[in-house]
Structure 1
Amino acid sequence: MPNIIYTLDNAINRFFSEGGASSSKIQCDEFAYRMYGGQVRPVDIQGSSSYTVIAGPSGNKIVQFREPAAMLDMDMLALAKDIHGDVVPSCSELGHIGDPNGSQLAIYEMDRLPGANYITVRPSLKRNQQLNTINSLASFFAQAWQRGTPAESPLVDRSAIRAQCYSRFNHLADALPERFAPAVAETQAALPALFDEDYPLVLTHGDLNEMNMLVNPSSGEITGIIDWPDASILPFGFTLYALENVLGSMGSGGWKWFDNAEDLRNSFWRAFRGQTGLSESQTRLTELAGKAGILMRYGTAYDSGFPGMIGTRDPKSTARREKLQRAELAKVRKHVAN
């Protein structure tokens, strides 16, 4: 498979040419300039279903233009802000742009968080900085465990969430190659415990990858968690693949772990258990939830639309995401074999 080379210009051109938006980059830039002034410039790493710029005299605002199928759930974002505080950007809806009879883009304004995308600073982080990333990631997950999601929240429908997850893993059991069958069976066996009332259902970021974590390049500490359109309520731990993703990197020769990856992994669990007081049995269950999340995130084509799957997107958006995801699927093998 040929390598997928990311460039900023290609990402922006692809969004406006393939997304079917009835507005242009120039129109979006002009809107951001009229609203906030300053130099309007695209962020270095663009999402596949949005166009994002920095604006304002001091470059303190983010303006994001999102496809109709990728709009933000403001209730989910408010919950994320309540749980995680300053690492989640404040956000406001600003309406739409484009032909009312066409495919308009939804407009959002956010405070610009400090830091750089983890994927860009990862090669330069020293061991002590890597440890700071790990410890702040442990704190992020500890917040989710400790705060959970109130059972009375309108966002929580335990029976519906359970039905969707069971359906999703039934699909995985049929769709994945035979070599993944033991991992799927193991996670299916754990589902009853993960949906027990004693195990927390929590706000779950839908795509906690290396591009959606911001870190301080000097310290390595996480300063922001961005891109929340796919957030949902799931058993705790379904995004623990984020831990594995910060313990190595994908290159032309495949995935390569840091030489201190195991020490960093152990540091994460020490910090997490120290903040939450998890028992050995609870820790084992969260590890199984992490394996379940890996299979859900990397084991199917993005938003393939099988019965019970949470959310589907339009074919053009799906096709773009699937091109990127083919490079990610190798991560299934590296994670679930452990």
Structure 2
Amino acid sequence: MHDFFTRNGLLGSARLQCWRFAESLYPSSALVEAPSQGHCSYTLLLREHDSIIQFRPPRHRLDLVITAAARAALGDLVPDTQLLGTIHFPCASSDARQQHNTNDNNNSSSSKDDNDNDRCLLVYSLSLIRGTPLPALLHSLFPNPPPALPPLAEDTPTPTPTLTLTPTPPIPTWTRTSTLSPPPTFTLNPPLTPTETQALTLTPLLRALAHRYFAPAFRAALPATSPRLPALKRRVGRSLRARLALLREGLPARFGPVVREVQGALACIAGVAEVAGVPGGAGGAGGAGEEVVGGDGGDGGGGDSLPWAVTHGDLVGAGVGNVMVEMDRCSGGAKGGSHHDGDGGGVWRWSSTQRATDCCAGVVRLTGLVDWAEGEYLPFGVGLYGLEELLGRMVPVAGTGRRRFEYYPCAERLRAAFWEELEAAVPELVEDAVLRARVEKARLLGLLLWYGIAFDDGALNRVVRPGRDDEELQKLDLFLLGKDHDRDADAAAEAEEDAGRDSDSDSGCFFLDEEDAQTDDKVGAQRPWPAPGKL
């Protein structure tokens, strides 16, 4: 937690000032530090009020317009958010400035001074989302396997095989399940395999995300032609064109076909306003007086593009650490029926032929989505970038000091459960083939944006690079191309190709020009994309 203050260039006394500020607002309440602190904020728990007080630097502010829209669409899955004020600090390198506190009890997310001076913290009150970050719970349930061995070099001698005696598996037990006679019936009840346990544990979470997050976001989405949308676009939504151009130029060549495919489909994904040059609005961080309560209703894909839905911009942060969950144990003994995840959605169904022991497994229940600092209105389907990360985990690679993403053995069962639930909640995805195809293109766009653009503490303006962002590139390979890439096999070829590119720095990194991004919509008509077949 002390690293948070150091990262933001604050003196050691800043933490004490945060406490004093919180105590001045709630003098009779007990404050404790949250056991799990985020990278972009410092959080205190206010137990008596079932809320938290959170301190954020201006670059990681919460947009109150977006958080209000998310809560209107998704209910208590999203914390109620209010701005309490701003604390100003002297710089860590100088004590010259006078420190002062200001209470700013209005609905503006920030002021001009906050943008110009990063030596301050915005103070928010958020309703408490109970539970545990998903990565912490999964690590306790499914510890990482031993590190995977790197592939053997061609000149490495083959190890001498050794004889290993495997214990005989236990003899399955027969359990009588009927008292009727004659004749009695029996079912075989062997123990659950690790893959079955994992699938039964995680399936309710995937169903809940489909039912409680994606489906309501679709229903509350704004048509791409809505007059309200231009003012609601934010940093990423205003610069889709510029970001795709940057990715096309800066990503390794093997991703080029996917980038070009998405570029060619951008009109169907984002709408005429994004491609034909209609201004997408100034956006900004959201100002006082704006109201976003729900949406005008998605166009169902029947229009020229997808509707724009409120989207969590960092669902996979810290390995899906912004997904809050609890572990539930359901009672056994039932032979059929359904188990609700306890929060109004995400139904886990099993058939009457499933084993009775199956329903005794613990299940992961969704309690909320936190950290909406990167939340935006984006074309529906872009947010599906987060689904892949929920289907696996990072594992170490032995002898390399590296990590790689690996799908769970039950990943396809989990994926099928997610889509089954989403299609039941949004039947248009089944009835309208055009809509489904557009959503798939939007999913590819989301993967490119969230793994192809480096986070860099919120800068979001640099294309990921081999040697610097290898984990992100490995995920892009797996999520977009369906396989791991041997990063050493063609390193020389890619280095030669990169040397011929124009870059903004000697390091070969490709950065987004913020001025170009701001005017992305306005110049769209002057830079039409060629037809997909001619790219």
Partners of 1:243 and 1:258 in 2: how far apart?
13
Report SS of the residue matched to 2:383: coil
Range moving further from structure 2, 101-110 or 160-169: 160-169
Deviation at 1:324, TM superposition (A): 11
Partners of 1:148 and 1:216 in 2: how far apart?
29
Task: Tell me the equivalent position of 2:405.
Answer: 255
Range moving further from structure 2, 122-131 or 179-188: 122-131
Partners of 2:217 and 2:435 in 1: how far apart?
15
- Is the 1:67–1:106 Cα contact (8 Å) retained in structure 2? yes
Alpha carbons of 1:220 and 1:156: their partners in 2 closer, same or farther (altered >3 Å)? farther
Q: How does 1:37-52 map to 2 (within 5 A)?
A: 37-44=29-36, 46-52=37-43
| Pair 1:207 & 2:207 matched | no
Deviation at 1:32, TM superposition (A): 2.9
Report SS of the residue matched to 2:9: coil
Task: Tell me the equivalent position of 2:257.
Answer: 182
Structure 1 counterpart of 2:32, which letter? V
Task: Tell me the equivalent position of 1:77.
Answer: 67
Picking from 128, 138, 155, the partner of 2:210 is: 138
Deviation at 1:157, TM superposition (A): 6.4
Deviation at 1:148, TM superposition (A): 0.3
Partners of 2:258 and 2:121 in 1: how far apart?
40
Alpha carbons of 1:98 and 1:43: their partners in 2 closer, same or farther (altered >3 Å)? farther
Deviation at 1:149, TM superposition (A): 2.7
Partners of 1:291 and 1:226 in 2: how far apart?
24
Partners of 1:337 and 1:96 in 2: how far apart?
46
Q: How does 1:234-253 map to 2 (within 5 A)?
A: 234-253=378-397
Query: Which ranges of structure 1 fall in alignment gaps of 5 or more residues?
Result: 1-11, 305-310
Task: Tell me the equivalent position of 2:326.
Answer: 216
Partners of 1:192 and 1:186 in 2: how far apart?
12
Deviation at 1:213, TM superposition (A): 0.7
Over residues 123-149 of structure 1, what are the superposed CA-to-partner deviations in whole Å (9 max), with x where a residue is unaligned? 427432311100011111111111103
> Identity, % of aligned pairs?
31
Task: Tell me the equivalent position of 1:265.
Answer: 415
Partners of 1:13 and 1:328 in 2: how far apart?
27
**RMSD after superposition:** 2.8
| Pair 1:104 & 2:120 matched | yes
Partners of 2:370 and 2:230 in 1: how far apart?
20
Structure 2 counterpart of 1:14, which letter? D
Q: Which has the higher helix share?
A: 1
| Pair 1:128 & 2:278 matched | no
Alpha carbons of 1:180 and 1:51: their partners in 2 closer, same or farther (altered >3 Å)? same
Aligned pair count reads 312
Partners of 2:253 and 2:424 in 1: how far apart?
38
Structure 1 counterpart of 2:372, which letter? W
Report SS of the residue matched to 1:239: helix
Over residues 295-330 of structure 1, what are the superposed CA-to-partner deviations in whole Å (9 max), with x where a residue is unaligned? 1111022269xxxxxx848x9xx9xxxx99764443
Structure 2 counterpart of 1:133, which letter? L
Structure 2 counterpart of 1:241, which letter? Y
Partners of 2:373 and 2:5 in 1: how far apart?
19
Rg larger in 1 or in 2? 2
Partners of 1:111 and 1:162 in 2: how far apart?
27
Task: Tell me the equivalent position of 1:300.
Answer: 453
Alpha carbons of 1:52 and 1:157: their partners in 2 closer, same or farther (altered >3 Å)? closer
Partners of 2:46 and 2:232 in 1: how far apart?
39
Over residues 65-115 of structure 1, what are the superposed CA-to-partner deviations in whole Å (9 max), with x where a residue is unaligned? 000111111111100110000100011111012337561100001111121
Partners of 2:476 and 2:121 in 1: how far apart?
33
- Is the 1:216–1:222 Cα contact (8 Å) retained in structure 2? yes
Deviation at 1:270, TM superposition (A): 1.3
Task: Tell me the equivalent position of 2:187.
Answer: none
Alpha carbons of 1:96 and 1:163: their partners in 2 closer, same or farther (altered >3 Å)? closer
Report SS of the residue matched to 1:21: coil
- Is the 2:31–2:44 Cα contact (8 Å) retained in structure 1? no
Picking from 258, 264, 285, the partner of 2:438 is: 285
Partners of 1:291 and 1:132 in 2: how far apart?
25
Over residues 133-178 of structure 1, what are the superposed CA-to-partner deviations in whole Å (9 max), with x where a residue is unaligned? 00011111111111103623265568x9776211110010001011
